[in-house]
Amino acid sequence: MHHSARGRSSFAAIVDYEPQPAVLHCRGDEDRATQSLRRQAFARALTSARDVVVDLSELSFADSSLMLDLAALARRLRHAGRTLRLTSPQPQILRLIELVGLDRLPGIELEPGFAA
């Protein structure tokens, strides 16, 4: 089946947030070009009364802009007494997380083998 609406669908909600449970889903490719598109989901995640899970299982590419945004989100959640839990990163995303040291920041837990 051929996707004729490819240009439009590529900007579908790549990052979205569902409050019950508090899960931030990251999908596809995330880089500086998509940074503005994830702001709303990140802002909604900040309103969570519980720890926020970041489901990375469908994220195939990310650059440092996403890692910096996740670090900032974790810092703000930590000040509110909550944790950011990164789950199910694909191998290339796990390498990026470890390379930038995101998994060593306070307020961040990495659960590589977690399956939703």
Percent of residues, the chain, with pLDDT higher than 70: 85
Relative to beta strand 84-87, strand 23-30 is unpaired
Rounded to the nearest integer, the mean pLDDT of the chain is: 87
Domains and CATH numbers, the chain: 14-111 (3.30.750.24)
The dihedral formed by the CA atoms of 60, 104, 19 and 82, expressed in degrees to the nearest 10: 180
- Identify whether the C-beta of residue 54 lies closer than 8 Å to the C-beta of residue 85: yes
Of 85, 76, 96, 81, which is closest to residue 53 (Cα–Cα)? 85
Give the pLDDT band of residue 13 (cuts 50, 70, 90). low
Quick one: pLDDT at residue 100? 95
Q: Are 85 and 109 in contact (CB under 8 A)?
A: yes
Residue 39 has pLDDT above 90, yes or no: yes
pTM for this predicted structure: 0.84
Q: Which residue has the tokens 């961040």?
A: 108
Query: Looking up tokens 């004729």, which residue turns up?
Result: 4
